Amino acid sequence: MGENSTQQSGQDVTGRPRTVTVAAVLNGLQGAAIAAVGAAMLLLVVTGDPDDPTQALTGAVTLLALSALPLAAGHGLWRLRRWSRSPAVLTQLLAVPVTWTLFGSGGLWPVAAAALGLSAIAALGCLINPTATAALGTAPRGAA
């Protein structure tokens, strides 16, 4: 009965709403992907011969620093911290122009753009869900 009532209430086994769990995982995956690209760029700076080493190093460090926002937001969402919703929403909104830019690139970047765009839409949908806003304490006043 406990498992069935958990499924019906829209919560996972920890009591966290599924919408918050999905948003936390998506933010974490996005942060990890950004960190991986930054680390790969840094590795190329160290082992390769970039056209402009300063620009490549700056790009790598910037991506590594930017990965902190979705990683922290994902961690905060996972722990149901109220503060985490704003950086999570900001991360998803910033993903829109990045998605657009990646679609115009060659190689596998359009595939990455599709994954980023779909994950951003899914995460935003989860974050604006009334169950998530209530669980995070960010629901409008008077909302149930």
Q: Could you report the per-residue pLDDT of 2-22, keeping only the tens digit for each?
A: 444 444 567 766 789 999 999
pTM of the entire predicted model: 0.86
Is residue 141 one of the residues assigned to a domain?
no
Is residue 59 within 8 Å of 41, Cβ to Cβ? yes
Closest CA to 29 of 136, 122, 132: 122
Is residue 107 one of the residues assigned to a domain?
yes
Q: 16: domain range? A: 2-135
Is residue 140 one of the residues assigned to a domain?
no
User: Per-residue pLDDT tens for 86-130?
Assistant: 999 999 999 999 999 999 998 999 999 999 999 999 999 999 999
Domain count, the chain: 1
